[in-house]
Structure 1
């Protein structure tokens, strides 16, 4: 397969991340077919020249490379199977790069299903938010057949200006690395909330806490989340950012992956409780960094809506 814009590409799943990634692929001149459960979300891509498929089977029928960006294990497995699932239309030797954050078990299952249809399955979860995706600066963690990865590299690089890292021969390994990255982010978001609540109880100004934390953290993503917790800025537009429900899904996946190999992840259990607490307090639609405010709830400090005017 030639690594050029003549490659026929299919993109499955057009949420805020998927739409941005698909636009980067289309803007690089690739022939692009798109599919989304809600077809109206593909209108902007269709207007820009992409072909809109009626179903998943049709979407991949002529594709050399397939990129998918769905939600979880269930959606990925359901999209693959069934009479109109994409595996019923996939070409032999086609390369499917699944960017969804899923469990290692699901990745292994999908790899086997693709082998049964003569196709290659690559796990390619990405690190970054929708604004990073729009800039084509996501970081991709890749796991699977290395030759297949190279055949799809030109497409992957359209949205992965932040770097592509081949993790190993197994798709499951790439998903483990993505879960590790999200574990670090989620743990630090929770930590920021605890630090601010603790210091606030001791009468320390938030700006001083911010200054001290800035000496320990230099990664832009960490500092961006720290600033959200500092300012208690958890608002997000519908379909943008990363919500509490998505965070809870990933934390549950981390716990299940740890259970599989006998590795307890106690802090993930804490994060799960905090995310459920956030949802129980009506914060489901906020950015997942709102988990930082669970520390305020546990400390008896008021949320913004509870403060007296």
Structure 2
């Protein structure tokens, strides 16, 4: 998904995955390597992957490629996706020695030792885990099984999943959301956050780094901490997008060309992710096929606002950003219905449309042309 935090963390981390802080070094994986990794030392680990969207699909691909190249006698990853064509396409791309496809969630639950889930929203996550639990209560596992939930969910949902999973013998849940765009995921540079059962985190961390990500941040045994941290990170990204949206709108009303604003962003905010979002706004490039869909942005903003209410920690900037996201989506939906849309799926940087219309400007096709005010 979004990668502002990724860029900030990357600046403090060297190419070998070690970060230097005040003369000390922090390892990319904050656990000792498991002495007997996997469910049973004598048996190969069967990995399952559920959800092959923009991030999940890349994670599954990288994991399959890495294990095939670095683990002798590794088993093909068993994948499931609601839209079966995505799973079939991944199988066709990587081959049967790396990927197996199932159209039944029950097969994932019963056959796999480690199951990764990367799903679109809380409702889908709960539905999938309830199906896992139903299956495993009828066919209890005989050995250690780990579920790794990587989606962006509200923290209490992780608690509900943990209760569900831990009611099944030998089963544990790790909450493990990730920071990064599809491009960051493709380079196996995701920043991975973990909370939950210690032994399970240790095993999963060494599966994911360096195959999928470059660093693990451990937030302890409370399963809700990692999803909370993910929302905190996303609040930073969303808040920055709101500032950019307002600044570009003010520049347009003041007759300042968008490209000059973008140059300034590159000079004073030299983080790759910030520059990419600025570039999208300055060029009206709001196609989410290579970005982060506005529906997901609204979901995350809603979760952040709910968290701020529970914690009594107001974030007025996020409230405004949420309004602009909804306004932009409403305008885009109207354009789709009228057959006037410029992109089929709106990126969350398109939130600038909300700021623009509030200022009396076109939402998504503005050229940032205004009246130049003379001294």
State if a TM-score over 0.5 links the two structures.
yes
The equivalent residue for 1:144 is 196
Instruction: Name which of 42, 45, 70 aligns with 2:87.
Output: 42
Distance change (3 Å), C-alpha of 1:306 and 1:140: closer
Higher mean C-alpha deviation, range 193-202 or range 100-109: 193-202
- Using the alignment, how far apart are the partners of 1:39 and 1:85 within structure 2? 22
The structure that has the greater radius of gyration is: 2
1:210-239 residue CA offsets vs partner (Å, 9 max, x unmatched): 2332333122112211111122211233xx
1:13-45 residue CA offsets vs partner (Å, 9 max, x unmatched): 111211111111111224211111122211133
Query: SS of the residue aligned with 1:184?
Result: helix
Consecutive unaligned residues in structure 1, runs of 5 or more = none
Instruction: Name which of 266, 275, 285 aligns with 2:316.
Output: 266
Query: SS of the residue aligned with 2:192?
Result: strand
1:55-109 residue CA offsets vs partner (Å, 9 max, x unmatched): 2121121222111101111111110114885654673531111110000000111
Instruction: Name which of 175, 200, 204 aligns with 2:256.
Output: 204
> Alpha-carbon deviation of 1:159?
4.5
- Using the alignment, how far apart are the partners of 2:313 and 2:323 within structure 1? 19
Is residue 133 of structure 1 aligned with residue 178 of structure 2? no
Higher mean C-alpha deviation, range 77-86 or range 240-249: 77-86
Instruction: Name which of 259, 274, 287 aligns with 2:347.
Output: 287
Select the structure with the greater relative contact order (CA < 8 A; seq sep ≥ 6).
Answer: 2
Checking the alignment, whether the CA contact within 8 Å between 2:179 and 2:190 is kept in structure 1 is yes
Query: SS of the residue aligned with 1:61?
Result: helix
Distance change (3 Å), C-alpha of 1:226 and 1:14: same
Higher mean C-alpha deviation, range 149-158 or range 60-69: 149-158
The count of corresponding residues between Structure 1 and Structure 2 is 305
The equivalent residue for 1:2 is 37
Normalising by the residue count of structure 1, what TM-score does the alignment of the two structures yield? 0.90
Query: SS of the residue aligned with 1:10?
Result: strand
1:237-271 residue CA offsets vs partner (Å, 9 max, x unmatched): 3xx42111111011111112222233333222212
Q: Kindly report which structure 2 residues correspond to 1:28-67, keeping only aligned pairs within 5 A, or say none.
A: 28=66, 29=68, 30-31=74-75, 32-47=77-92, 48-49=95-96, 50-67=99-116
Checking the alignment, whether the CA contact within 8 Å between 1:18 and 1:69 is kept in structure 2 is yes
> Alpha-carbon deviation of 1:156?
1.7
Higher mean C-alpha deviation, range 109-118 or range 259-268: 259-268
- Using the alignment, how far apart are the partners of 2:256 and 2:163 within structure 1? 55
The equivalent residue for 1:253 is 303
The equivalent residue for 1:97 is 148
- Using the alignment, how far apart are the partners of 1:85 and 1:56 within structure 2? 11
- Using the alignment, how far apart are the partners of 1:174 and 1:90 within structure 2? 28
Distance change (3 Å), C-alpha of 1:54 and 1:302: closer
Query: SS of the residue aligned with 1:60?
Result: helix
Q: Kindly report which structure 2 residues correspond to 1:17-28, keeping only aligned pairs within 5 A, or say none.
A: 17-28=55-66
The runs of at least 4 aligned residues of structure 1 exceeding 6 Å deviation read none
- Using the alignment, how far apart are the partners of 1:246 and 1:180 within structure 2? 15
1:166-212 residue CA offsets vs partner (Å, 9 max, x unmatched): 12222211111111111111111111111111122222232332233
